[in-house]
Structure 1
Amino acid sequence: MRILLLLLCLLPLIHLQAQTQSIAPAVYNALSSARQAQAEGNLAQARQTLREALSDTDSESLEAALLHQRLGYLAIATDDYPTAIRALRTALESEQLAAEVARQDRLNLAQLYLLDEQPQAAIELFVVARNREPLPLNSKRLLVQAYMQTGQYRAALPLAEEVVSADAGAEDIWYQLLVGLNHRLQRFRAAADWQQVLVRRNPGSVSAWRQLAGLQSLAGQQRAAAASLRLAREAGLDLSEQDMDNLIALQVQAGAPWQAARLTEELMAAGLLASTPQRQRQLAQLWQQARDHDRALAAWTRVAEASGRSEHWLQVAGLHLQQADWPALLTILERAESNANSRQRQQIAEWRHYARQYTELDN
């Protein structure tokens, strides 16, 4: 940032000649001498020359504004940002500077506030300048930074979009910023769209593909998430089963078991997860956590038919119990009884008694 600031600080000097046509010769000479001393590396001499001229100048004049301005840029050369801020602010508050010069000083002062860790003051200056005419690209970048530092993410987002729209060669960090801002604002689909740009820029990055799939999953695009991971694997990238499990866990941790179940189905359909008995049980549990009765019932029935175990048939029975489907419950309890242990037999007896009571009442 400092390199950019110093480059921009040269710009007011371009306009100095136009402003010095009508100023006192003594001040003109002082400004020229100070500039020469600075070029020779004698900053103390430059500062003394400017201060001596300022002591003999009307504080409300253009001459005073130009001297304060020069003192400000001299302070920047020594990284004395508080002094530079005071000097440039004084020059601007005089309202003596030409409009174009004042605008550039105002933008530079905003950058100084950022360097001095005063982002809100920088924002105020940038916004004033923007209200008068569009900001240059570098100032937009710095305003985004100031918004980020103050936690004004909604204000930062459209401005960051302007930056990448205006600069096709914007660094990856700007796209990462757009991904992060949209994620923070829970605009997961937009975050995934920006992440796709990063994937296209870095097709060999495993982490970029992982993040894309994660964002697509958070956006409810489970099929797209599975497709992204499949494409990454087909491209020879090192994706493991743990990567798939992490993606599923992301949805579970977000309190979205239904999305986790859909993702599990899509990953198995894409061949990225093997349809093992353990995985089928996980899928059944997720549908049950999501309170999707029909899918949970179908999933647990597949698990029970494959294993034949009483504990799995009791899961099916429990789902029928929740729906008060007494005939189906009694049928499933018969299947659960064949290899049940004593505790399971006790539960089967209790549920059977319960179902028969309600069956008799219904009759």
Structure 2
Amino acid sequence: MCVANLYRSAALGLTLLLAPGLVMAQQAINPAVFQALTAAQKAQQGGDLGKARSALNQALDDVEAGSLELALIQQRLGYVAIAAQQNRQAIDWLRKALAHGKLDATVARQDQLNLAQLLAAEGQYSDAARLLETVQAKGALTLEQKQLLVQCYSQTQNYAKAIPLAEQVVRADPGVGDVWYQLLVGMNYQQERYSSAAQWQKVLLKRAPQNREHWRQLAGLQSQAGEQPAAAATLRLAHEAGVGLTQTDLDNLVALQMNAGAPWQAARLLEELMAQKLLPTDAARQERLAQLWTLARDRTRARDAWIAVANGSGRADHWLRLASIQLEDGQWPDLLTTLKRAQSGASSQQRQLIRQWEGYARLAMEDNS
């Protein structure tokens, strides 16, 4: 489940704020600089960005380093760059303007928020997140700004911070797009919080109960969480709702658990699916179940499963799979009985193995007597 892919499908609809006004009541500026800023604003409003930039660049030569006037000119150059869709230049100018610490607090906050969005647009998610955290420390973020911060956290795989913030987003606006619930599913999955991922997947299922993929994904998450009866029940409900998966789909769901490195979960899911008659209890699936219990190192279930398989098939290789478990567990009398049953139909290579194991079992029994 790729969180990055989920977020690429999200259209946040965030828009840059308007450039701040030229004059703040508490910030008096040099008249010449004010005139240059006014000229630049008029030129920008008239669509002549080159003229606006020229007026500002000329004014740069007449201001003191570290002054408010310098900050205002650099700020305005940043917004001219935004209008020209020159994000990297805008980032550079806004950073310089903010670095002086001269701008009014309200204006500086607006510039920081715009700068954070520019950074995110340029893929600089770590820098954007740090800037948004700075802004948040001085005042609560709006819902839209929280969405941007979630995006930054998720893109940097900082899911521990992203998840609670994304939860705030969906609780503040339960009607947000599916992508937010998909994101919560994906991030919780990445954190191996499978039960939490399943709970958010249920929201998606309620929104689109006819979507077969939602049922499949919910069952998969429940299985990953060790809730195989719940997973099988989910698939049973899907079947009763008329959107049930095919036998191939169900077998593939078991395989997905195995491919995810969870053979125990795969075995329990397969067992439940056969118990609820969603999958037939045929010889092939019984053998698959025995193999899964063996891979899961659940020796008791593996032994019982191989006994059932071997009794059904009578094949030497199946008896030998059972024998290997009994050998490892030191169950010598049972091992000798199983090896005797494996004789029928055994190949020459298998008979050689049977003789070796019989000799080992008898020797072990003598040593223990």
The interval holding the TM-score normalised by the smaller chain is: 0.7 to 0.9
Q: More relative contact order in 1 or in 2 (CA 8 Å, sep 6+)? A: 2
- The separation in 2 between residues aligned to 1:240 and 1:2, in whole angstroms, is 36
Residues 346 and 32 of structure 1, relative CA distance in 2, 3 Å threshold: closer
* Alignment partner, residue 288 of structure 1: 294
The reply on whether 1:240 has 2:271 as its aligned counterpart is no
List alignment gaps of at least 5 residues for structure 2: 1-10
Q: Which position in structure 2 is the counterpart of 1:219?
A: 225
Number of equivalenced pairs? 359
For 1:224 and 1:313, how far apart are their aligned partners in 2? 33
Distance 2:345 2:59 in 1: 103
Retained in 1: the 8 A contact 2:236–2:244?
A: no
Residue 145 of structure 1 is matched in structure 2 by 151
The alignment status of 1:48 with 2:59, answered yes or no, reads no
Aligned-partner residue type, residue 94 of structure 2 = L
Counterpart CA distance in 2 for 1:105 and 1:308 is 77
**1:1-363 pair list within 5 angstroms:** 4-6=14-16, 8-10=17-19, 12-13=20-21, 16-19=22-25, 22-237=28-243, 239-337=245-343, 347-348=353-354, 351-359=357-365
Higher helix share: 1
2:14 partner SS: helix
Cα drift, residue 103 of structure 1: 0.9
Q: Pairwise CA RMSD of aligned residues? A: 3.0
CA deviations over 1:99-124 (Å, ceiling 9, x no partner): 11111111112222223343333233
TM-score by length of 2: 0.84
1:9 corresponds to which letter in structure 2? L
- One-letter identity of the residue aligned with 1:157: I
Q: Could you say if the C-alpha distance between residues 262 and 315 of structure 1 is closer, same or farther in structure 2, counting changes exceeding 3 Å?
A: same
Structure 1 residues 52 and 319: CA distance shift in structure 2, 3 A? closer
How far apart, in 2, do the equivalents of 1:254 and 1:112 lie? 37
261-270 or 120-129: bigger deviation:
120-129
Q: More displaced, 199-208 or 114-123?
A: 114-123
Q: Is the 8 A contact 2:320 2:342 kept in 1?
A: yes
Instruction: Compare CA radii of gyration and give the structure with the larger one.
Output: 1
Alpha-carbon distance, 1:146 to partner: 2.6
CA distance in 1, matches of 2:296, 2:49: 71
Instruction: Indicate the SS of the match to 1:107.
Output: helix
Deviation at 1:227, TM superposition (A): 1.8
Could you say if the C-alpha distance between residues 122 and 293 of structure 1 is closer, same or farther in structure 2, counting changes exceeding 3 Å? closer
Cα distance in 2 for partners of 1:121, 1:338 equals: 71
Residue pair 2:77, 2:90 contacting (<8 A) in 1 also: yes
Contact 1:195 1:212 in 2 (8 A): yes
Q: Whole-Å Cα distance in 2 between the matches of residues 77 and 120 of structure 1?
A: 24
Instruction: Encode CA deviations 1:218-249: one digit per residue, 9 max, x unaligned.
Output: 22221222222222222222522222222222
What's the CA shift string for 1:6-54, capped at 9, x where partnerless? Answer: 3x134x33xx454487434444444344333322222223333334444
Post-superposition CA distance 1:114-166 (Å, at most 9, x none): 23343333233222212222222222222233333434333333333333233
Q: Secondary structure at the residue paired with 2:217?
A: helix
User: Quick one: structure 1 residues 259 and 27, their matched pair in 2 at CA, closer, same or farther if it must change by over 3 Å?
Assistant: same
Deviation at 1:342, TM superposition (A): 5.6
Which residue identity lines up with residue 113 of structure 2 in the other structure?
L
Distance 1:88 1:255 in 2: 48
SS in 1 for 2:101: coil
Query: What fraction of aligned residue pairs are identical, expressed as a percent?
Result: 53
Counterpart contact for 1:9–1:108, Cα < 8 Å: no
In 1, Cα distance between equivalents of 2:52 and 2:244: 61
| CA deviation vs aligned residue, 1:83-111 (integer Å, no higher than 9, x gap) | 32232223222322211111111111222
Deviation at 1:268, TM superposition (A): 0.8
Task: For 2:283 and 2:78, locate their aligned partners in 1 and report how far apart those are by CA, in whole Å.
Answer: 73
Partner SS, residue 284 of structure 1: helix
Distance between the aligned counterparts of 2:365 and 2:278, measured in 1?
46
The letter of the residue matching 2:14 is L
How many Å separate the matches in 2 of 1:277 and 1:212? 28
* TM-score computed with the length of structure 1 as normaliser: 0.85
Q: Does the C-alpha gap of structure 1 residues 76 and 307 become closer, same or farther in structure 2, counting only changes over 3 Å?
A: same
